[in-house]
Amino acid sequence: MLKGNKGEWSEIYVFLKLLADGKLYSADENLEIIENIYYPIIKILRTETENKRDYFINGDIEIFDAENETLLMKIPVIDFVENSKKLFNYLKSSSGRSFSFLDIESFLESIDVKNLTGLKTDKSDIRILIHDFNTHRKEKLGFSIKSMIGKDSTLFNPAVGTNFIYKISHPENKKIDISAFNRETLLKSKDNSKLSKINIRINELLKLGYQINFEKIQSENLELNLILIDSQLPLILSKILMYKYSLSVSNTKDLIELIKQKNPLNFNLSKGHPFYENKIKNFLTESALGMTPETVWNGIYDATGGIIIVKSSGDLVCYHIYNRNEFQNYLVNNTKLEQASTGENEENPGFARTDKKTKPFKFGWLYEENGEYFLKLNLQIRFTNSK
């Protein structure tokens, strides 16, 4: 039985709907279809553990064994139209973390699809051979898939390594009773549901005269990846994170405006150069198209076509490298910084929970190391648009 979450089933939905539609439309910065910019699909290439299949659009859908180029079967396009519509309706009405659809599974078996996701060696979720009107050539492109059906997708996933570490110091070298501080600030957050415990802790430290300065990123690999994109990115993102947690501002667009106003890196903004906006756009783009925290990033996109978005209406749109500006504006306007589970043991503030279900991020409280004080803040970015 095939069983998966909405994200996994959305990959199958995209596969079926692209074969049903025969084309993939580009989107503007507001996620609206651009009617005159689309990519005719020649075939979809799918690799599973057991086999490699090519799905050609040629009147019917012709399914070939990719290894020996043998035609295996022909399936009417209407079957893909009907099953893609059926699957979309199931996904809209389903709740829970994981589910199966027996009639869809039966159709998938009939077209030689045995798994919800194909084998992946990169960040691409689907590989498509298109006719490219820009180059007048056939281009094989990989796309990542983000689904707006159900919970919004993450753009940058949280992990232990995505913790940013800040050093806490006082000009007069005042000591902190860490146990009391973590406990009392946690209690304050319970008394004020509008403020998070991290917000209260940061502002309490500032009120007491402590300085909070970025030290490093927990993952050395992530820090080096960011420096490759832009040498100042680690520091800029550390400032963005601090604003998010201390000022309760989450939307990427608002955070960019905030950092421009504060200009913590003292850029010369007199001529209107968009230093902060451009650097953050590049970070979001690299994250969407290939860069992950624990893999060495070489600047080469895995998802060489771009990103396909499943709208809540069921329409598919894409952002391709040719409409990079629209893609970057979309990322800025439709993402936010989100707090992952801190993993703190609220019965013993300042220490992590140890149960197996707890995420191992371990951030958000004050801790001491070699006689110095530190605080970790975690970076996670999620899409907000559900059109």
Q: Distance between CA 253 and CA 29 in Å, rounded?
A: 13
Which residue type sits at 154?
A: T
197: nearest Cα among 337, 343, 361, 336: 343
Radius of gyration over every alpha carbon of the chain, rounded to an integer in angstroms: 24
Query: How many Cα atoms are found within 13 Å in the side-chain-facing hemisphere of 14?
Result: 35
Higher pLDDT, 326 or 381: 381
The tokens for 83 are 């099953």
Region 55-63: what's the mean pLDDT?
Answer: 96
Bridge partners, residue 61, by sequence: 57, 75
pLDDT at 310 over 60: yes
Confidence grade of residue 387 (pLDDT, cut at 50, 70, 90): low
- Amino acid of residue 382: R
Q: Are strands 316-320 and 23-27 parallel, antiparallel or unpaired?
A: parallel
Is residue 293 within 8 Å of 283, Cβ to Cβ?
A: no
Q: What confidence category does residue 309 fall into, taking pLDDT thresholds of 50, 70 and 90? A: very high
Cα–Cα distance for residue pair 349/180, rounded to 1 Å: 9
CA nearest to 341, candidates 380, 373, 375, 384: 380
pLDDT of amino acid 46: 94
Look at residue 170 in the predicted model and tell me its pLDDT. 93
**Strand ranges in the chain using DSSP code E only, listed in sequence order:** 23-27, 33-47, 52-58, 60-65, 70-75, 126-132, 137-147, 154-156, 163-169, 211-217, 306-310, 316-320, 335-337, 366-369, 372-378, 381-383
Better-scored residue on pLDDT, 274 or 190: 274
Are 131 and 42 in contact by the 8 Å Cβ rule? The answer is yes
Cβ pair 178, 350 in contact under 8 A = yes
Mean pLDDT over 27-51 rounds to 91
Q: 55 and 108 in contact (C-beta within 8 Å)?
A: no
Which tokens in the block code for residue 276?
């902060």
Q: What is the pLDDT of residue 150?
A: 75
- Altogether, the residues listed in the chain come to a count of 387
What is residue 39's three-state secondary structure?
strand
Give the pLDDT confidence of 11-31 residue by residue, as tens digits.
Answer: 999 999 999 999 999 999 889
Measured in degrees and rounded to the nearest 5, phi and psi for residue 162 equal -90, 15
Average pLDDT, the chain: 92
pLDDT at 62: 97
Cβ neighbours for 384, distance < 8 A, ≥ 6 positions apart: 152, 251, 334, 335, 336
CB 114 within 8 A of CB 278: no
Helix and strand element counts for the chain (H, E): 10, 16
Q: Which of 158, 157, 195, 165 is nearest to 365 (CA)?
A: 165
* AA identity, residue 67: E
Mean pLDDT of 360-370: 95
Helix, strand, coil percent content, the chain, rounded in steps of 5: 35, 25, 40
3-class DSSP assignment, residue 294: coil
Planar angle of CA 259, 350, 188, nearest 5 degrees: 70
> Residue 76 is which amino acid?
P
In this prediction, residues 370-385 reach a mean pLDDT of: 94
